[in-house]
Structure 1
Amino acid sequence: MLNIVYAIIGAVFMVGMALFAFLKGGRPERLGAGAYLFAWFGTIVMQENSGFRGVPLGMFLIDLLLLGVFVAIAWRYRQSWPVWVSGLQLIVVMAHIMALSGQPVSISSLYTIMNFTGYLIIACIIAGTFYAWQERRAAELNR
């Protein structure tokens, strides 16, 4: 029962971030939030299909693809939040590589790393959306 409370709080946080990014953010924020939502849904499907045992290869591929999307956003739009998000996503990818290479580490600690960095990624997207929104408002007021 207690695990479902954490899942609901995380889902509300994720959907709130996406709504804020889609309503107030610019193109890079919408792309980042959309990619992160897609990866979130894909990861949930992969976890359900694996029975929550181990780290499936599909989750690794989703996170690797998401890293590529964030790096492309950072490269294309030259803002600071995608750089931070790319670094955090790289930590998640490295945790996958550690698990897939057979290192003696508990799966629960890897999921903790992935979940914690996920919240930090959401916070970075929120911060980037807020600053993009404020910059647009300031540009409108200066006209």
Structure 2
Amino acid sequence: METIEHHTEIFSALFLAATLYAALRGGAPERLALLVFWLGSLTSVALVSPLGKRWAHVEYGLLASDLAMLCAFAALTYHARRHWPLWMTSMQAIEVLCHVPILLAPDVNRPAYMSLQALWAYPMVVLLIIGVRRHRLRLKRTGRDVSWRRSSARS
């Protein structure tokens, strides 16, 4: 349990740093990604199984939350004029795919399932920090940073 608590403390500190940085210094895509992270985190906590039953089977609530986040990041990738959302979407897709082994083979190693679910959150939060930093550099270099792609269709 000590390892899990340590992992939670490290992630919480990183997540708080990313939250503050993206909220205060990020552009619209970075803030939207932050909102997706927060909503995903809150729904994951709300929908995960009770402690005694957690990770004993597919965490369907967590899978639903992960799928919703994947859709949100895919929409962000499509509309944002940034490269990092594509990487974010890819990492979220891998996180969704981490549910598949337990669906196919219920006897799969439970700690591995739990660890894989936690693993991808770290690089995704770091990627958000990098995205904010690159946004700030573009603003410094050119004085502006266009956030969204424009539709070529005429209305």
The number of residues matched between the two structures is 141
What residue in structure 2 maps to residue 121 of structure 1? 124
Where do 5+ consecutive residues of structure 2 fail to align? 145-155
One-letter amino acid of the structure 1 residue matched with residue 75 of structure 2: A
In the aligned structure 2, how far is the partner of 1:133 from the partner of 1:48?
40
The structure 2 residue matched to 1:53, chosen from 45, 52, 55, is 55
Structure-to-structure mapping, 1:34-113, within 5 angstroms: 34-47=35-48, 49=50, 51=52, 52-54=54-56, 55-102=58-105, 104-113=107-116
One-letter amino acid of the structure 1 residue matched with residue 21 of structure 2: F
TM-score (norm 1): 0.88
One-letter amino acid of the structure 1 residue matched with residue 80 of structure 2: Y
Identity of aligned residues (%): 23
Task: Report deviation, 1:103.
Answer: 5.4
Asked if residue 20 in structure 1 is aligned to residue 17 in structure 2, the reply is: no
Structure-to-structure mapping, 1:123-142, within 5 angstroms: 123-140=126-143
Where do 5+ consecutive residues of structure 1 fail to align? none
- Root-mean-square deviation over aligned CA pairs: 1.9
If each structure's helix is expressed as a fraction of its own residues, which one has the higher value? 1
Query: Which aligned runs of 4 or more in structure 1 are off by greater than 6 angstroms?
Result: none
Q: Does the 8 Å CA contact 1:63/1:89 hold for their aligned counterparts? A: yes
Larger Rg: 2
Describe the shift of the 1:81–1:58 C-alpha distance in structure 2 as closer, same or farther (beyond 3 A). same
